[in-house]
């Protein structure tokens, strides 16, 4: 068993960090989870649990959480091109051999995961603490320094795992350089009361065309969630024009029923904020004594709602490699070799998905002739079920994951 005096230290209690902490603790590994936020009530962006993510949750053993937290399973999906309906498909006709996509409340989800981990005496969590640096012994990471309410403290660890997001201090301090992929979009998120025509039928809608993309669905809290994809760098101009013109611009791109609703609710929009889209991946995931996973290792574009799903798969693969080793004596060289194995196993899927994510913005937002031709031709083809099936196979990795990820511990 691992030495209780030298826990694995996980920095960041997002989906990757919290689920990995649960997996390690449930296998008898001493683990301490550090999180900057005092609670999880702040606005989270990632709500989409795709079939690959739902399957991962089942493998981790936390599938029962969904029943106890706010969530929504859309019953049908509609695609519009320039406000004209291309197709409407029931969810179980699209996802015939898998779990259904689910929108979940990430704050409630993380709280439940951590509460589940608290059942194990070898698990500790410290909320409201800020990691300020890394401890090192003989050029090897040997723990962290963190600041709580009162003073700076140190926490030695057998391994430090950075699951602390795109601005990861673990990644930065270990000089784990990231290769950025150009993303020419940002996302404006807002909520308002749900229109009856979407709420009663539990529809998720996507509007493409005119150089834009807008997605509308019922959020886990029952409100209408709108994700409006805009050209990067144009949000400031939208804000200066005022909320009425901003809403009018959104309403112009959707069907009259939703457009009228947005205009009527323009003064009641909740939680409007900008997600500055980034896509990158570190060139190496580890340094002696340290490993990064989740957004700390690979910030995902919002295209396709991949964030939570690849984070859960990161947690499974990391646990597969680490648990057998950590249940024995700590041998630093073997730990470092194992962290490299995590990177080797996860990189092919992430390369594949990030390539797929780069395509839709170029096709939907692009000004080139071939992008315009795509927007004109493909929606017509997608009216036919065979064309939708072929397109689904091409994009299958986005929904189901690329490669087989199985919990083996």
User: How far is it, in rounded angstroms, from Cα 160 to Cα 157?
Assistant: 6
User: How far is it, in rounded angstroms, from Cα 105 to Cα 110?
Assistant: 9
User: How far is it, in rounded angstroms, from Cα 181 to Cα 320?
Assistant: 29
Q: Exposed (0-12), middle (13-18) or buried (19+): which is 279, by Cβ within 10 Å?
A: buried
pLDDT along the chain (409 residues), means of 10: 70 97 97 92 74 94 94 93 90 82 92 97 96 95 91 93 95 93 82 86 87 88 90 78 82 92 87 79 95 95 87 97 86 85 95 85 75 78 79 74 91
User: How far is it, in rounded angstroms, from Cα 363 to Cα 369?
Assistant: 10
CATH homologous superfamily, domain 8-42+106-181+280-366: FAD/NAD(P)-binding domain (3.50.50.60)
The per-residue pLDDT for 73 is: 92
Query: How far is it between the farthest Cα atoms of the chain?
Result: 66
The per-residue pLDDT for 42 is: 66
Instruction: Give CA separation, 347 vs 11, 83, 341, 343, 351, in Å.
Output: 21, 38, 10, 6, 6
pTM of this prediction exceeds 0.75: yes
User: How far is it, in rounded angstroms, from Cα 380 to Cα 85?
Assistant: 10
Domain 185-276 sits in CATH at 3.30.9
Q: What does the domain layout of the chain look like in residue ranges? A: 8-42+106-181+280-366, 185-276
The per-residue pLDDT for 1 is: 41
DSSP characters over 280-323: EEES-SEETTEEE-GGGT-PPPSTTS-HHHHHHHHHHHHHHHHH
Question: 180's torsion region: left (phi>0), alpha (psi -120 to 50) or beta?
Answer: beta
The per-residue pLDDT for 357 is: 84
User: How far is it, in rounded angstroms, from Cα 228 to Cα 246?
Assistant: 11
324 half-sphere exposure, CB direction, 13 A CA radius: 9
The per-residue pLDDT for 2 is: 43
């Amino acid at each position: 068993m691992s030495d209780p005096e030298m826990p694995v230290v996980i920095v960041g209690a997002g989906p990757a960090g919290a689920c990995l902490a649960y997996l390690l603790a449930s296998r008898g590994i001493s683990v301490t989870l550090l999180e900057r936020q005092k609670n999880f009530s702040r606005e989270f962006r990632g709500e989409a649990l795709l079939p690959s993510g739902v399957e991962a949750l089942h493998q981790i053993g936390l599938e029962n959480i969904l029943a106890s937290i706010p969530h929504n399973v859309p019953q049908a999906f509609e695609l519009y091109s320039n406000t004209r309906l291309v197709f409407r498909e029931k969810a179980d006709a699209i996802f015939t051999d898998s779990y259904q996509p689910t929108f979940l409340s990430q704050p409630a989800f993380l709280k439940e995961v951590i509460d589940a981990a608290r059942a194990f005496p070898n698990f500790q969590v410290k909320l409201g603490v800020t990691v300020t640096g890394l401890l090192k012994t003989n050029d090897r990471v040997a723990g962290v320094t963190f600041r709580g309410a009162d003073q700076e403290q140190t926490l030695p660890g057998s391994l430090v795992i950075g699951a602390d997001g795109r601005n990861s201090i673990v990644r930065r301090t270990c000089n784990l350089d990231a290769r950025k992929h150009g993303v020419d979009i940002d996302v404006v998120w807002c909520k308002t009361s749900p229109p009856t025509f979407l709420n009663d039928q539990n529809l998720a809608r996507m509007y493409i065309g005119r150089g834009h993309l807008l997605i509308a669905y019922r959020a886990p809290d029952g409100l209408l969630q709108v994700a409006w994809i805009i050209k990067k760098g144009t949000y400031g101009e939208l804000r200066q024009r005022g909320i009425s013109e901003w809403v009018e611009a959104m309403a112009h791109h959707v069907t009259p029923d939703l457009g009228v609703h947005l205009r009527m609710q323009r003064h009641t929009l909740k939680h409007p904020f900008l997600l500055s889209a980034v896509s990158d991946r570190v060139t190496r995931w580890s340094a002696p004594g340290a490993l990064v996973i989740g957004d700390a290792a690979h910030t995902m574009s919002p295209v396709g709602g991949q964030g939570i799903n690849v984070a859960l798969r990161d947690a499974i693969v990391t646990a597969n490699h680490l648990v057998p080793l950590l249940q024995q004596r700590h041998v630093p060289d073997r730990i470092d070799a194992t962290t490299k194995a995590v990177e080797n196993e996860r990189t092919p899927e992430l390369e594949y998905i990030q390539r797929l994510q780069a395509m839709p913005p170029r096709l939907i937002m692009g000004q080139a002739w071939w992008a315009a031709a795509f927007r004109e031709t493909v929606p017509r083809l997608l009216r036919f079920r065979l064309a939708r099936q072929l397109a689904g196979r091409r994009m299958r990795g986005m929904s189901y994951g690329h490669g087989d990820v199985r919990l083996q511990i």
